[in-house]
Structure 1
Amino acid sequence: MPSESEPEKAVHPEAVRQNIRGTSPWEATVGYSRAVRLGNVVHVAGTTATVNGEVVGVGDAYEQTRVVLGIIAGALSEAGATLEDVVRTRIFVTDISRWAEVGRAHGEVFGTIRPAATMVGVAALIDPQHLVEIEAEAILP
């Protein structure tokens, strides 16, 4: 509990919430946004290589990761952030033995930014053609 001289660390109550829409066919059905900005924090939802309802890079984990990171960059931009503002990524892969392909694409984007990152193997994603899904969190200065 903060002392009387320390303010509570919370988002300012007057912060405006901005929901960022994407092109995922599941956003309306499931009830989520591609990204949400509240104050200076941007949360990007789990993102797959789905463009206009079609999976891109089928069978290619590196290409899917590249596409995912491009979609994330677009959502961040719409929220007023950049990839340089990303402090955290979570990477979900359906075949952990392909971690190097996914990691190479992630490293090409975040090699100098170096957000905290986690990569885990999962049994499946929403579409069997998806090999990777990534979440990101950004904090604007």
Structure 2
Amino acid sequence: MRRNIGSGSPWEASVGYSRAVRVGNVVHVAGTTATVGGEVLGMDDAYEQTRVVLGIIRDALEEAGATLDNVVRTRIFVTDISRWEEVGRAHGEVFGAIRPAATMVQVAALIDPQHLVEIEAEAIIS
């Protein structure tokens, strides 16, 4: 059984994606940025953007019946790898005890030049 979870973003319908998808006991959360209500939060602050992103991911997981404790994998895309410590600190505050498999890579750009970080997550509900 498949369940699509939307965030209300206007791009979901036009691009054709869901904030999260639950199939059985697995939840996949799409690449998530610090955009709330059309506004990028945490301007030029990689730590704050990461905190916002992880909050959005937490909300999507909860709507899908999962928690942050169920996260087994995160993928972190940053536009400036020299800021990895800011991003890593926020990620560690949330996942320090959970310790999912994680990847952080630098990308040439994200969809909005104001975005410094985008994160995907996968969770398994046991």
Tell me the TM-score normalized by structure 2.
0.98
2:99 to 91, 101, 114: 114
1:95 matched to 2:80? The reply is yes
1:79 matched to 2:64? The reply is yes
The whole-number CA distance in structure 1 between the counterparts of 2:115 and 2:8 is 16
The whole-number CA distance in structure 1 between the counterparts of 2:3 and 2:27 is 9
1:44 matched to 2:44? The reply is no
Show structure 2 runs of 5+ residues with no match. none
Give the corresponding residue for 2:52: 67
The one-letter amino acid paired with 2:47 is Y
The structure with the largest alpha-carbon Rg is 1
| SS of the residue 1:42 aligns to | strand
> 1:23, 1:52 within 8 Å by CA — same for their partners in 2?
no
The ranges of structure 1 where at least 4 consecutive aligned residues each deviate by more than 3 angstroms after the TM superposition are: none
Give the corresponding residue for 1:23: 8
The whole-number CA distance in structure 2 between the counterparts of 1:41 and 1:59 is 33
1:135 matched to 2:120? The reply is yes
Quick one: structure 1 residues 57 and 72, their matched pair in 2 at CA, closer, same or farther if it must change by over 3 Å?
A: same
| SS of the residue 2:115 aligns to | coil
Shift of 1:25: 3.0
% of aligned pairs identical? 83
Cα deviation per residue 1:78-107 (whole Å; 9 max; x = unaligned)? Answer: 000000000000000000000000000000
Shift of 1:26: 1.7
Show structure 1 runs of 5+ residues with no match. 1-15
The whole-number CA distance in structure 2 between the counterparts of 1:24 and 1:118 is 26
Q: What is the alpha-carbon root mean square deviation over aligned residues?
A: 0.6
Q: Which has the higher helix share?
A: 2
Q: Which has the higher contact order (CA 8 A, sep 6+)?
A: 2
The whole-number CA distance in structure 2 between the counterparts of 1:124 and 1:25 is 21
The whole-number CA distance in structure 2 between the counterparts of 1:21 and 1:122 is 26
